[in-house]
Amino acid sequence: MKWKIKILNNLNDFKKVYRVFSEPPYNEKYTDEELENIFIEYQEKGYMYGSYIDEKCVGLIALERGAKSDQPVKFQDEDVMYLADIAVLNNYRRKGLGNQLMLYAVMQSKLLGYKKLYMRTLKNGSMSYGIALRIGFKQIPNTFQSVERERINGKTETMQNIFLEIDLKNLNKEALRQGINMLNYSKGNEIGG
């Protein structure tokens, strides 16, 4: 399967992929207006990239500049990038697209001059958690956040999140190569496309 990653600036592509969070296992509720606001925020505060197969957007990754003020993370310097979201359509999961998007986020953040990339995730039930660890992310000790999300059934649930980071400043080709090899080994896919 051949795919390419490019800047995502089409609202409809974004909505189509982001709605994966309204499906199991996430079941999060989003209105069209909320999705438009998320899209605008990502455009204003950072970068969005889509994974395309035959010009069809099947995955996305969103990066925001700086640490988010509503999160309990503290960094010494301000050269920090936040990996805000990663999503892949259900029919395209387990084919290496999430791996590719995560690696792209790491490389792009380093190319843009950021010293650290961090993310918030669930330790259990998150597809991005395992990918991040294999690439070289480490859990930020003693840093947790409870987040409430409205589900499609109308109920609100609280999720316990952890934070992971990767040191881009000291990331070298060999460390990235090890991460890529681990992803290849774990998924049986070639990285690239």
How confident is the model over 140-167, as pLDDT tens digits?
A: 988 877 776 666 677 777 778 889 999 9
The residue among 91, 172, 84 whose CA lies nearest residue 128 is 84
| Angle, CA of 146, 79 and 14, to the nearest 5° | 60
Domains contained in the chain, CATH given: 4-187 (3.40.630.30)
Smallest Cα–Cα separation from 182: which of 111, 96, 60, 107?
96
Report residue 97's pLDDT band, with 50, 70 and 90 as the boundaries.
Answer: confident
**Does residue 3 sit in helix, strand or coil?**
coil
Question: Which range has the worst mean pLDDT, 23-27, 120-124, 181-185?
Answer: 181-185
The tens digit of pLDDT for each residue in 15-50 reads 999 999 888 777 788 899 999 999 999 999 999 999
Tokens at 6, concatenated: 């490019």
Q: Give all strands of the β-sheet with 116-121 in edge-to-edge order.
A: 4-7, 46-53, 56-65, 80-88, 116-121, 156-167, 138-150
